[in-house]
Structure 1
């Protein structure tokens, strides 16, 4: 690197988070500009991104390490925790003064396009939380199946949520769907989303009425049936919270023709049932776990060779 470039880089690094016009920016080689961007806080990146199309493209080409992204549709709030180039965890709150996200929609699009997000939560969204114009902005910025999100938590379910789900990539580790009573939520709709087929752990709680009436486990049988038919990978897991206490017997009855064994497992400390799949090297292990007067159904793909004394490694693990 030439001495003049070193001096310019040092000046920019010193002033990287100040409000500036980036007057020395164009004099730096591209690789050095990328290095400088990597040390900037998000606000400085946003300002640089807005200076020109060239800088916008350069900023968006560099990955941002996001720990948590929360979108609150009711209050039009964006909550963000991310790590800067020095590894320091920083927090940002973006609040709109109107009933919508306004210019914040560009930040959402940029993060979904360019960031690697460990955990994203979408909460209190209604069909009117995002306008058609804002949808078009997101569509233009974020291709389908491109958002790099490891874990997704959904607190409601409607057409806006489906809009976001279509943007998720197919390497998601964990998806949580908590459903309010009276929702039009449908597993059939969810199963059409590409990322759902690949998610490793799907957690859900589906109350039928004011969080007091637990869900019948047959709501989850279509998911399990696809595992039987479509060669789902070992370790893929469904965790359905707050199901009815007769859930285990319903599970056994539904898949009776595939039943290999059933009984009480000492290592899981709960009843378990093992059923076959279309792939002879894989089985499905199901169990109903009781805790605090509530029940949860757990189903997981296991190797056909797995011995019963190792059931707990698949049932009790969260991954």
Structure 2
């Protein structure tokens, strides 16, 4: 018992000798503050940087990793979708742009979504660090400006075109990131010469095997036949094979070819007008010149679902409804097994 009391007495004496630290933020060493800031969410950082100039400098010096973030700007405010979500009602559109540029300056994104409605207020001043970017229903100026601000290292660019809008495709293709990105697509594309222009760009750049570009067109866009007609006319002297569903052309590099694939064939008794009124998907890919036709992937759902995840499920075992994967047999009324397309999902430009 005496021994226990003696030990407790010694422990009490040691505790009384320990120094007492102040817990106020202003008394914390700068290196500890930086570690704390690194663990803060965006809302907490924004609040802290409003307290003092010194704290603002510390907050702004720390990059923030954001797995996935999205910006939606209108004339009334800014929606930012990290975790947790932030919605700011702003006094004017300029404030929204300023906040956007701040987040872009400190953010290192895994993926980023951009949905801006007001072209007249767009002024991007910061480079964008991300592996993946999805630009949704923006006008031409925003699309071009965002692409120009990307840092090196982007691997995936997805553009959902503003309905009924033609982009300055030449300006987009002049962008270094677009010329070198492994994968990109334009959803609801209105430019029938897009496939031809991208393929020519790849030839000029001697793009790597596996580089991929996809487009979808709706019933409102140019007829599907226009996409292929323009492509064939431009590359008439480069054609290796043409089955209607696939067009293969040679490039300036003897080791590489470019393959154009049409995703869907509609089994409508050969009614060309009906087929032209539907949506269509095209995939353009750089392939090895040694690839045999037997190596082609006949199951298109997987790559179609990348560009239209809402309606196509990437089920390689069953083609979608109204799709005939064996276009050559339509005239003979040969049927193929069809899956289901989701009829309940409506097109929506909003998030």
**TM-score clears 0.5:** yes
- The 1:249–1:193 alpha-carbon spacing in structure 2 relative to 1, beyond 3 Å, is closer
**2:193 aligned with 1:218:** yes
1:71 counterpart residue number: 72
**2:149 aligned with 1:157:** no
Once the two structures are superposed, residues 68-97 of structure 1 have per-residue CA deviations (whole angstroms, 9 ceiling, x without a partner) of 212223443222223xxxxxxx2222232x
Q: Distance in 2 between matches of 1:199 and 1:313?
A: 25
Check the 8 A contact 2:112/2:130 in 1, yes or no.
no
2:5 counterpart residue number: none
1:313 Cα offset (Å) = 9.1
Q: Distance in 2 between matches of 1:66 and 1:42?
A: 13
Please list every run of 5 or more consecutive structure 2 residues that lacks an aligned counterpart in the other structure: 1-17, 267-277, 308-351
Q: Pick the aligned partner of 1:110 from 98, 102, 110.
A: 102
Q: Distance in 1 between matches of 2:100 and 2:180?
A: 24
Q: Distance in 1 between matches of 2:298 and 2:110?
A: 24
Check the 8 A contact 1:290/1:296 in 2, yes or no.
yes
2:39 counterpart residue number: 39
**2:82 aligned with 1:100:** no
**2:121 aligned with 1:129:** yes
**2:284 aligned with 1:299:** yes
Deviates more, 1:271-280 or 1:146-155: 146-155
SS at match of 2:264: strand
Structure with a larger share of its residues in strand: 1
1:165 Cα offset (Å) = 2.8
Q: Distance in 2 between matches of 1:66 and 1:235?
A: 26
- Pick the structure with greater CA Rg: 2
- The 1:172–1:314 alpha-carbon spacing in structure 2 relative to 1, beyond 3 Å, is farther
1:18 counterpart residue number: none
SS at match of 2:113: strand
- The 1:306–1:54 alpha-carbon spacing in structure 2 relative to 1, beyond 3 Å, is farther
1:299 Cα offset (Å) = 0.3
RMSD (Å), alpha carbons: 3.1
Q: Pick the aligned partner of 1:252 from 217, 222, 232.
A: 232
Check the 8 A contact 1:272/1:287 in 2, yes or no.
yes
Q: Distance in 2 between matches of 1:219 and 1:164?
A: 20
1:35 Cα offset (Å) = 2.4
1:225 Cα offset (Å) = 0.4
Please list every run of 5 or more consecutive structure 1 residues that lacks an aligned counterpart in the other structure: 12-22, 83-89, 208-214, 265-270
Q: Distance in 1 between matches of 2:140 and 2:253?
A: 35
1:254 Cα offset (Å) = 2.5
1:187 Cα offset (Å) = 0.3
Check the 8 A contact 1:126/1:158 in 2, yes or no.
no
SS at match of 1:172: coil
Check the 8 A contact 1:302/1:314 in 2, yes or no.
no
Check the 8 A contact 1:155/1:179 in 2, yes or no.
yes
1:36 Cα offset (Å) = 1.4
Check the 8 A contact 2:196/2:230 in 1, yes or no.
no
1:274 counterpart residue number: 248
Q: Pick the aligned partner of 2:210 from 226, 235, 240.
A: 235
Once the two structures are superposed, residues 124-170 of structure 1 have per-residue CA deviations (whole angstroms, 9 ceiling, x without a partner) of 4233234xxxx3xx52xx25xx5335222231223244333321123
Aligned residues: 270
Deviates more, 1:37-46 or 1:119-128: 119-128
